[in-house]
Amino acid sequence: RWHAKRFHMSPPLFSSWNIPLIHTNRGTRAALRLATSESAPKCTVQDASWENDGCAVVLEFVMNDSRLENSDDDVDESDSMSRLISVLQLLCGADADLLKDETVLSGLSVGEGLIHEVGAYPLKPVGPATFLFRRWSTTCDESEIISNPRVCIMTHPSIRLEVISLVELAISRMQEIKFTLSTIPLSVLRVRGRASDTTLGKILSVDINEVITESSDIDGSQRTIL
């Protein structure tokens, strides 16, 4: 009886037994109906960490210590960011849209791209990846805090080791430039529904309109939290 309510059943077989063929999407339909309701807006939260196995590859540009100690030298944000992008161009191609999108490069949104073998673009694709950037920043109080530009690369677990090897190879081609490569735990939550913005604003205690410039889908009802 449980299956009969939630699945489309086959005609009676083998002594009047019915076999469930395909689910009726009752749970999904109910969730979408609530999330898209105009009279009582709500939202749904999906844990999508299974897509990247809760892990990400981190590529970070490391500023030369001698430049930081010498007060006469200015640390150039655009230069350090361009060096990080140059590594990704070896994997995604110089014309990759994500490497030209300022909202992606500034960390306001994630970028989607296809990783290829080093220098082989547009040939020899390896697999899709999601990129999340953190830009260079400084804070001067009693001490100076410098945050190096970095990018988190999220891929399917089946190609992660190959991607790490390719990033290492791309780094080796950048002479006299130091990068660090590591992996970190990273969870992905997807918030869908007309109330997604207001819900995120309450949880994060921020004005969501100040940090989100454009929507992830047609009606602006989906957000991805990393």
pLDDT tens readout for residues 188-223: 888 888 888 888 888 877 776 665 544 344 344 555
Cα distance between residue 179 and residue 59, in whole Å: 7
- For the chain, the first-to-last Cα distance in angstroms comes to 40
119: alpha, beta or left? (left if phi > 0; alpha if psi -120 to 50): left
pTM confidence score: 0.72
- Name every residue whose Cβ is closer than 8 Å to that of residue 143 and which is 6 or more positions away in sequence: none
pLDDT at position 55 is 93
pLDDT tens readout for residues 3-38: 556 777 777 766 677 777 777 776 777 777 778 888
pLDDT tens readout for residues 144-155: 445 688 899 999
Of the candidates 14, 30, 45, 60, the one whose C-alpha atom is nearest the C-alpha of residue 190 is 45
Helix (H) or strand (E) holding 185: strand 179-185
Helix (H) or strand (E) holding 61: strand 55-61
pLDDT tens readout for residues 151-195: 999 999 999 999 999 999 999 988 777 889 999 999 888 888 888
Of the candidates 101, 66, 102, 63, the one whose C-alpha atom is nearest the C-alpha of residue 83 is 63
Neighbours of 144 (CB within 10 A): 10
Residue 111's DSSP bridge partners are 131
**166: DSSP letter:** H
Helix (H, G, I), strand (E, B) or coil at 53: coil
Query: Percent of the chain having pLDDT more than 90?
Result: 31
pLDDT tens readout for residues 102-123: 989 988 888 999 999 999 999 9
Q: How large is the average pLDDT for residues 129-140?
A: 72
